A and B are shown apart, each in its own frame.
Chain A
């Protein structure tokens, strides 16, 4: 069905540690993936994206890894900071012309000082 699942609902990490948030997607035909961060009371904020023809993409303190063999996506955050505390969503786009994004349920990241 249309679903993008996340393995853990809540992730708690110590400030300064690296965080890894995982995501399993169901549609092998998806050609584009995005990670969003959503803070309380705000709309989702774009973090990083990756196309299906790539395995890895790096941004500022963040890295997204895509494993198409097992339909798995992960977001790595280096040196996690208190400001990183939020809900993180992965989303996939099926191949085709529309920009419909399918979101997962989200993982809450808690950063302990």
Chain B
């Protein structure tokens, strides 16, 4: 186990709704990255947070937003959900400035109907 936790484990939402996913990073880690993994695909980078600021973003629209808190935990918010947002959302924590190793949580399975 990596020590990275995510909640909830599963979630079902309706198109147009908003969702908030949560992640607690591994103890001692200061950076959180979020990824979207569609079924049968590799994870796609959404964004990364370091010192409570966005530190890099992938090709995702602005309706995907995030936060990082002083305790390094993080939230991923998705507005105006679309059917294609159905995926496994993974967060990964790392220690910026020391290592590029990223340790993943178990993910949140989001289904949009």
- Interface on A for B, CB 8 Å cutoff? 4, 32, 34, 36, 41-46, 49, 89, 91, 93, 97-106
Chain A interface helix/strand/loop/mixed: strand
Given contacts A43-B107, A44-B43, A101-B45, contact A93 B100 (CB under 8 A): yes
Q: Is the CB of A43 within 8 A of B56?
A: no
Q: Residue of B at shortest CB range from A33?
A: B100
Given contacts A34-B101, A44-B43, A49-B101, contact A99 B94 (CB under 8 A): yes
User: Nearest chain B CB to A1's CB is how many angstroms away?
Assistant: 11
Q: Residue of B at shortest CB range from A105?
A: B42
Task: Write 24 A-B pairs (CB below 8 A) sorted by A numbering.
Answer: A32-B100, A34-B101, A34-B102, A42-B106, A42-B107, A43-B4, A43-B106, A44-B104, A46-B104, A49-B100, A93-B100, A97-B55, A97-B56, A98-B48, A99-B48, A99-B96, A99-B100, A99-B102, A100-B33, A101-B33, A101-B35, A103-B35, A103-B44, A105-B41
Q: Is the CB of B104 within 8 A of A99?
A: no
Q: Which 7 A-B pairs have the closest CB atoms?
A: A98-B56, A103-B42, A43-B104, A100-B45, A44-B104, A43-B106, A32-B100
